[in-house]
Amino acid sequence: MNKFTYSTAILDAYNFLLKNYPEVFVIGQGLWSPWYVGNTMKDLDKKFGKKRIIDTPVSEAAVTGAAVGASLNEMKPIVVHPRMDFMMYAMDPIVNQAAKWSYMFGGQSSPSITIRGIINRGGEQGAQHSQALHSWFAHIPGLKVVLPSSVADARDLLIASVLADQPVIYIDDRWLYDQEDNLPEAKEIKLESINPCILREGDSITLVGCSYSTLLLKKVTKKLIKNKIYPEIIDMRIINPFHSELITNSVKKTGRLFVLDGGWGPCGISSEIISSAVENVDPNFLKSKPARLTLPFTPAPTSKVLEQEYYPTEEKIYKNILKIFKNNL
Amino acid sequence: MKDLNNNKIESITSEKEINIDNFSGDELLEMLSKMILIRNAEYKIAKGREIGLVGGPVHLGVGQEAIPVGISQYLNNNDKVFGAHRSHAHILSLGIDLKSFFSEILAKSSGISKGMGGSMHLFGGSVGFSGSVPIVAGTVPLAVGTALASKLKGEDAISISYLGDGAMEEGIVHESLNLARINNCPVIFVVENNLFSSHLNINLRQPKELTYRFAKANDIESKVLDGNNLTSICMTSKEFIRRCRAGEGPFFIEAITYRWFGHVDWREDIDVGINRSAEDLKYWKKRDPISRLKKSLLKNNFVENHLINLEKDIQKDIDNAWMDALKESSPEWNESLNYVFKRN
């Protein structure tokens, strides 16, 4: 077993894909520089050549569109958006072209493209350098959206995304990069087989998150157990297509639901998780109202002081969960 | 250096017959047949739309037939051609099966996009047509991408990106031109400049009528052509396609033309917009690419009756294909659900 961090696990996935699949290439801004993507792509250009690791002009829309086109011509491109906020320029190639392509042409042609969007926030970067917009892409039929939380998933979900024949949005959060884990050799998993998973079984409350939120939920577990609250933690892993079975079965068991999300609340993945429970769990099972903690509904602030108020902390999460037990139905 | 492209629209286009010296009779008749097929198929669609047989919007390109016919003449089925909202001619010029094409216009399951596309979403992988969609400029970067892929694979296939003068106003086109040039992608951008974007004349949208200036800005070799002169299109198309295959791309062709119908559907749309008068239409109909080729052929000893019979035969094929397509069935709901994601 080799020791990996979340970020070197991503690098391992690139190495695996580029070594074994000549049709894989990577394109995006900053790929020949160590500045943009941490150590997730270290030396790939030196190892595999600048023909397969393509640094680009600052043209998110055309670069993403070109990758969609390349995927229609037998290649398997990975587009990298070092900061998700800039990926907004590429909404047409993603939402109008890639997501609709198979459907419009009766399944005869499909963009097998992976679009990697990195959530990169904190450190007083402010409103346009902070966003986590995974929920947007979960709203669109025709896209798959994966958000690895664990070190193993960081690698294995990237491999699964690239090998899939469909357009996939792969989102990683830089706040996860330093996690460590021992991993076996890289392997291929079918994207169709990726489901949410239970990280910890418990019967007091169902806690659901994805990406960095899952890590925060894991972190508050100890404190909850001290208070005799035994949480069941579910990591979403994939939010499009949205799989509700695991969540609803868990809520039937625990009677309580708390969702944590690093995006905004309205019309977001937290809303979808709660509505799936409300639609599928008989009210008799519920011991309290489902609850959630998301970002305040404002753009991200710049000041460090305001940032502390803005982002969820273990303390805030803990308090919100306790409230659920005080407000039993 | 003198800019050879920088002329006025009036001096670029003409009513005169065209020079057919370097073309064989067979080749000219083949291309004439294609142009007539495209035009009469579009008239069929226009009528079908008017009487309600076609359910969705149709963007007709009657008057613009010479451009795709001249381009397609030098392509093969491995090339990757992308169209936009006005693309009937693009795919017909590549030789798509007429009945399957009409089936798609009528949204039938046996259509080229399995009845999921209609007029605005055409697919013809077997003839090298990668797809057309109605988001203006939506396919332009895709064509750069298929070209990049051909280059990475070491193949000599090229990509064609058809776009209009309106699409030249989209930011993504300028990114695409730069990206194609910096990576030397084997793609040819073919701008069909019909002087209108929807209802609005180019003079009210851009400071200059010719868009090749953006190719110049991106250091891409370009040529401005009379889009209603078939052989002139052919000569540039042949040269640029050959050089593109040899790795000299990208290239940019701007072909000046005019559409006889309005932006959408079967009406002429005189003055619903701005600067589109009955006189303009008359002026441009005199520059009809089909009549001009016919005139040249008749002057060069082609027999008039032969041309008349040719057109009759084409019309018969169109009528039969249309009647057959009308009998086809609509897509099934359950089947349509399988198209959201291609099955692995």
Residues 6+ apart with CB under 8 A from B99: B321, B324, B325
Quick: pLDDT tens for A184-229: 999 999 999 999 999 999 999 999 999 999 999 999 999 999 999 9
CB contact under 8 A, A72 and B146: yes
Query: How close is the nearest chain B Cα to the Cα of A172, in Å?
Result: 23
Nearest chain A residue to B130 by CA: give it.
A72
| pLDDT at residue B236 greater than cutoff 70 | yes
CB contact under 8 A, B342 and A102: yes
| pLDDT at residue A325 greater than cutoff 80 | yes
3-state secondary structure (DSSP) of residue A26:
strand
What is the number of other CB atoms lying within 10 angstroms of the CB of residue A203?
14
**Structural tokens at position B300:** 């060069």
Which residues of chain A form CATH 3.40.50.920?
A: 197-326
The average pLDDT across B269-282 equals: 85
Query: How close is the nearest chain B Cα to the Cα of A22, in Å?
Result: 9
Alpha-carbon gap, residue B75 to B81, rounded angstroms:
9
Nearest Cα residue to A30 out of A151, A145, A148, A120? A120
pLDDT at A9: 98
Q: How far is CA A20 from CA A24, A78, B218, in A?
A: 9, 15, 36
| Full DSSP string of A75-139 | -EEEEEESSGGGGGGGHIIIIIIIHHHHHHTTTS-----EEEEEE---TT--TTS----HHHHHT
Alpha-carbon gap, residue B222 to B250, rounded angstroms:
9
Q: How far is CA B2 from CA B6, B239, B252, in A?
A: 9, 21, 18
Position B302 confidence tier, pLDDT thresholds 50, 70, 90: confident
Quick: pLDDT tens for A298-316: 999 999 999 999 999 999 9
Nearest chain B residue to A79 by CA: give it.
B145
3-state secondary structure (DSSP) of residue A200:
strand
pLDDT at B4: 73
Residue A97: which of B142, B148, B179 has the nearest Cβ?
B142
CB contact under 8 A, A69 and B148: yes
Average per-residue pLDDT for chain A = 97
Interface contacts (A, B; CB < 8 Å)? 163
Q: Does domain B20-294 have CATH number 3.40.50.970?
A: yes
The average pLDDT across B287-312 equals: 94
Q: Does A88 reach chain B within 8 Å, measured CB to CB?
A: no
3-state secondary structure (DSSP) of residue A256:
coil
| pLDDT at residue B1 greater than cutoff 60 | no
Instruction: Considering the domain delimited by A197-326, tell me its CATH architecture.
Output: 3-Layer(aba) Sandwich (3.40)
b/e code A182-199 from CB counts within 10 Å (16+ = b): ebeebeeeebeebebeeb
| pLDDT at residue B273 greater than cutoff 70 | no
Alpha-carbon gap, residue A254 to A273, rounded angstroms:
15
**Structural tokens at position A216:** 């925060």
Helices B140-153 + B171-182 axis angle, to 10: 10
Residue A57: which of B147, B152, B182 has the nearest Cβ?
B182
ipTM above 0.90, yes or no: yes
Alpha-carbon gap, residue A244 to A237, rounded angstroms:
12
Q: Which residue has the tokens 């090229």?
A: B158
pLDDT at A1: 82
pLDDT at A328: 67
Length of chain B (residues): 344
CB contact under 8 A, A67 and B130: no
pLDDT at B271: 74
CB-CB neighbors (< 8 A) of A77 in chain B: 145
**Structural tokens at position A281:** 């769990």
**Structural tokens at position B161:** 């990106």
| pLDDT at residue A269 greater than cutoff 80 | yes
Residue A104: which of B133, B142, B152 has the nearest Cβ?
B133
| pLDDT at residue B189 greater than cutoff 60 | yes
Name the region of B247 (left: φ>0; alpha: ψ -120 to 50; beta: rest): left
Alpha-carbon gap, residue B195 to B20, rounded angstroms:
27
Quick: pLDDT tens for A65-124: 999 999 999 999 999 999 999 999 999 999 999 999 999 999 999 999 999 999 999 999
Q: Where are the domains of chain B?
A: 20-294
AA letter at A43: D
Quick: pLDDT tens for B85-95: 999 999 999 99
pLDDT at A329: 56
Chain B contacts in chain A segment 203-232 (CB below 8 A): none
pLDDT at B276: 87
**Structural tokens at position A221:** 């577990």
Name the region of B8 (left: φ>0; alpha: ψ -120 to 50; beta: rest): beta
The average pLDDT across A157-168 equals: 98
pLDDT at B72: 98
Residue A61: which of B150, B153, B171 has the nearest Cβ?
B171
Q: Which helix (H) or strand (E) covers residue B254, if one does? A: strand B251-256
In CATH terms, A2-190 corresponds, of 3.40.50.300, 3.40.50.970, 3.30.450.20, 3.90.320.10, to: 3.40.50.970
Expressed in percent and rounded to 5, the helix, strand and coil fractions of chain B are 45, 10, 40
3-state secondary structure (DSSP) of residue B304:
helix
Residue A192: which of B123, B146, B344 has the nearest Cβ?
B344
Which residues of chain A form CATH 3.40.50.970?
A: 2-190
AA letter at A326: K
Query: How close is the nearest chain A Cα to the Cα of B141, in Å?
Result: 5
